Chains A and B, each alone.
Chain A
């Protein structure tokens, strides 16, 4: 199957920006997603980007897409302790059904 790779951990200080990176392999991807999962909870869709876009901004969140390199990133501005969670990159492939990476654990220090 198609792969989605992301680093497993990221630690930042409160108030700093966080950048979570992801690479994917499916060149037919239409939707690319970022989900957030808090401990013991389901997945919350944070944002998504269409493959014909290279940037999307939504309040503190900025998604950058480099389709040529199949690289996706999520930037969280002014990171807060409440942002501590696991962040999943997901690739919609040729449809829209997400295939997930293993998730990046974001730890925000006061």
Chain B
């Protein structure tokens, strides 16, 4: 069964350092999403890509977060500088265009900022 791949699985970083997460969506999925899930809450959408273009980044804290999907395949989410409040699970998801039944999540990256 096709999967959304994410790495690293876990990341511990010091406050004010830079950190990056990688996501490889299911082959052929045009749409890619990054979510943040704070402990005890549901995931919140940070950014949505359609191919290489950003469709929605209204919830992305742009002063410190950036996301790119240069060739319309894999994607990187970066935080610089990291803050204590950024500790969370960062989830990537992908879907075929305009379909909800194929919406598939990766296993996530658990970030701890110390």
Complex partner residue of B42 from A44, A88, A96, CB under 8 angstroms: A88
Q: What are the residues of chain B within 8 A of A96 when measuring CB–CB?
A: 95, 98-100, 103
Contact with B along A25-68 (1 / 0, CB 8 A): 00000110101000011111100100000000000000000000
> Among A11-19, A69-77, A99-107, which stretch is in contact with chain B?
A99-107
In the complex, number of A-B residue pairs with CB atoms less than 8 Å apart: 55
| A100 in contact with B100 given A40-B110, A42-B108, A44-B105 (CB within 8 Å) | no
Contact with A along B25-66 (1 / 0, CB 8 A): 000000001000000111111001000000000000000000
Complex partner residue of A48 from B43, B93, B101, CB under 8 angstroms: B101
Closest B residue to A89 by CB, please name it. Answer: B42
Q: Let me know if B106 is at the binding interface, CB within 8 A.
A: yes
Q: What are the residues of chain A within 8 A of B103 when measuring CB–CB?
A: 33, 45, 96-98
Closest A residue to B104 by CB, please name it. Answer: A45
**Chain B contact patch, size range:** 20 to 34
Q: What are the residues of chain B within 8 A of A48 when measuring CB–CB?
A: 100-101
Q: Give the Cβ gap from B113 to chain A, nearest Cβ, in Å.
A: 18
On whether the beta carbons of A92 and B100 are closer than 8 Å, the reply is yes
| A102 in contact with B41 given A42-B107, A96-B95 (CB within 8 Å) | yes
User: In the complex, A100 Cα to B103 Cα: how many Å?
Assistant: 13
On whether the beta carbons of A97 and B33 are closer than 8 Å, the reply is yes
Q: What are the residues of chain B within 8 A of A42 when measuring CB–CB?
A: 4, 6, 91, 105-108
On whether the beta carbons of B42 and A100 are closer than 8 Å, the reply is yes
User: In the complex, A42 Cα to B104 Cα: how many Å?
Assistant: 9
Cross-chain pairs A/B with CB under 8 angstroms, 6 sampled: A42-B91, A42-B105, A42-B107, A45-B104, A48-B100, A96-B103
Give A residues with C-beta under 8 Å from B.
4, 30-31, 33, 35, 40-45, 48, 88, 90, 92, 95-103
Give B residues with C-beta under 8 Å from A.
4, 6, 33, 40-45, 48, 91, 93, 95, 98-101, 103-108, 110
Q: Which 8 A-B pairs have the closest CB atoms?
A: A100-B42, A96-B100, A31-B100, A42-B105, A43-B105, A42-B107, A42-B108, A102-B42
